Each structure stands twice: as C-alpha cells, then as structure tokens.
Amino acid sequence: MVVELISVGTEILLGNIVNTNAAYLAEKCALLGCSLYHQTVVGDNEERMEEAIRQAIERADIVILTGGLGPTKDDLTKEVTAKVFGRKLYMDEHSRTRIRDYFEKIKSKKVTENNWKQALVPEGAIVIDNLNGTAPGLILEDKERGKAAILIPGPPNEMKPMFEHDIAPYLNKKQPEGIYSHMVKVCGIGESRAETMVADLMDAQTNPTLAPYAKTGEVHFRVTARACSEEAAEKLMGPMIEEMKKRFGDAVYTTEENVTLEESVIRLLEEKKMTVTTAESCTGGKLSGRLLNVSGASGVYNEGYITYANASKEKILGVKHETLETYGAVSEQTAAEMALGAAKAAGADAALSVTGIAGPGGGTAEKPVGLVYIGCAVNGEVTVREYRFTGNREKNRDYAVARAITLLREELLKRA
C-alpha cells in the first residue's frame, strides 16, 4: 500500500517552524509496512493545495494531510479535500458538541463563531474525535478507486495521539498482513560496535527484520514482523529478541517502544528503594531535567545542584580547595568529590556529577573542548569516567547527560 504525505502550512513552507510531523509520520508509516515515495509541503493557498492533493491521490493509495483544520480563513485543508473528492460539507452535531464541551472544560467564557467551522465535515467522511483539541480528524474514502485521504490536525500534541489511537489501526487493517514491532534499546555500546555484534542477524533477516537507529548515547534496534495476528508476530520476534538480549546482556535496558533510558533508571531506583541527586557543572541542569522528565521521579529525586563556579563547588559540595588548585575543576578528582559531596549534602543513596569543557571556548592542549569527567557515587563508593566528545557545545552536553545516566544504571546493576 502506497502512502503519501502532505504537510499544509505557509509557516512550514517558509521554514518558520520545523516539520517534525512529516518525520514522525514517515517513520510510523514505514513501520506499518506502507510504501512512501513522496512528501509535499504546500502553503495555505487553495489552488496550489488542490493541485498537490490531486497529484498525490493519483500516485498513492492513501494521502495523509496534516494541518489546516483550524478555525481561521486560511485553514483550507478540509474544504479543498472535500472539493477534490466531490463532497459537500455539513454540520456534524457530534463534533459541534465536543467543541462546546472542550471550551467549557477549559472554562472559556465564549466560543467564537469561527470555531464552529471545525465541526463542518465532508459527506460520507469518517469522523475521528480529537481527544486533545477541537478539530476532528477525517477519513474520506473513494471506494470505487480504492483511494483515501486522511486529515489530521497539525499540532503534534494532537496529531501523534490521534495517529497512534485511530489512524495506525486503520492503516494496519488495510494491509493483507499486520506489521508488529518491538524496540530493543541498548546503552553504553557505540553504534558501530553494536551493529557489528548483530551483523549476522541483519544479514540473515527475512521475517522478522532488524534495523538499527542511532540515538545520542544509545542504539535502538527495531525488530519488525509481518503476520496475520499480533500473537503470531510475537512468536516470530521472540527468538530474535532473546538472542539480542543474550548478546548485549545488561546493556539492553528495555524492549518497549515508549520506555526511555531515564525512565528505566528511575524505575530501577524505585525497585531498589534508593534516592539520587545530581551535581552539574558543564551540563547546567540538563541532567537533572532529563531525570525529572520522568513521571514519579520526585519519589527518588529530592534536590540537585548546579555548581559552575569553583567557589560553589567548595561551598555547596565540599570539594577541597587544594583539589581544585592542584587538578582543576575539570578533573577526575573533582568529579569524584562532587559526586560524594552531592550525595552527602542531599542525603541521597546515589549521586551523579558532571564537570567538563563543553566549548566552543575554554579548551587547552592538555584539556581540550569535549573533555568531560562523570562521577557516580553509590553508597559511598565512587566511580569516575573520562570522556572526550567531539561535537558542538550542545551535542557535548547532550552526550554527557546520556553517558551519566548510563553510568548510574551500570553502577546500580552491580548492587543487588
């Protein structure tokens, strides 16, 4: 089944916003076994939008359009698609009620008249409730030609849940066989080495298939099976997943799509009934922020510290003045004392420390940009790792955060 994507919006066309929707939908459609040959971005112009839809519907079995379903005059996606399919619009009372209820829920004093435009739907369309906004999704089918257009709201926080909940199952039913997958997520092993470790599995793949995806400080492997049922797919994927667990061992932190590295570590702390804190210099709160993105993190994380200045390292974390004088702020010794000091100050069982030179300035021949020391203290025992990253400032900080979380996980796993 061939799917084509059309992203609607002048703001996307002119580069005012990044088109993350297309990247998300392309990956999801590929995982559903759909073929994708074209993507189009079109501005809020009726004539050009109609031309784009007509071309797409000739090339593809299903066209997915995102954006242009709002209440303003330049939101034309629904109207133009209805024109292409020869459908008139009518007021869908169910959608109208949901819009009214939405505004009552957010305690809006009045629903402006243009919002009712979103309840107008093409004749014969399948209406998809928007659980996170006002504009419903729509599916228009031309059964004679075997074609369909799927219209989804543009905001990612509305588009993604609607796709997962309603559109993906619809697309899966259109396939002769369903596509099912698991993500084997690995940390602490570089991309090239990780791929080498499963090269034979990738060479021999037929069904299921195995595909690597490099992430910052991680490697994800998607195991995908085509089968007539989820149960049959699980049987196909099971042996490959078990073989990967055998090869990667504790480096595999999950086989679930939506579980992140930081979530796996927070759950590990919960399981061990331990608490954690952080002491950051060059990452400036990124490490604590990533940990605290996990729901329930407050149960294991009470407080943390950002200590850029040497004086702060001494005052808050108890780093010795002579350590800073002798070895410098960016050193193994300072990272160790930062971690131990943070654990003591917070009364935590574990602590992570990060000190380094993120760049672009500040480096020397002895201590270049990208040099980072990460310390991990668990129950009074400290481990420090040295890293030399080669990205820009933002990338170096991101890699340091990923390596710190990985180090904490490794140290926690060592303890029963």
Domain range annotation of the chain: 2-174, 178-254, 261-413
Instruction: Report the CATH architecture of 261-413.
Output: Alpha-Beta Complex (3.90)
Above pLDDT 70, what percent of the chain? 100
C-alpha to C-alpha distance for 341 and 80, rounded to whole angstroms: 63
Q: Is the pLDDT of residue 218 over 90?
A: yes
pLDDT value, residue 416: 59
Q: Report the alpha-carbon distance of residue 406 to residue 376 in Å, rounded.
A: 10
pLDDT class of 93 with cuts at 50, 70, 90: very high
Instruction: Tell me yes or no: is domain 178-254 CATH 3.40.50.2000.
Output: no
Average pLDDT on 62-66 reads 98
The stretch 4-10 carries a mean pLDDT of: 97
Write the single-letter amino acid at 166.
D
Helices (H), 282-357: 286-292, 310-317, 321-327, 332-346
CB atoms within 10 A of CB 17: 11
For residue 407, give the nearest of 367, 368, 351 by alpha carbon.
351
Model confidence over 98-157: pLDDT tens digits? 999 988 888 776 788 899 999 999 999 999 999 999 999 999 999 999 999 999 999 999
| pLDDT confidence tier of residue 238, bands split at 50, 70 and 90 | very high
256 vs 115: CA distance, rounded Å: 39
pTM, two decimals, is 0.77
- CATH no. for 2-174: 3.40.980.10
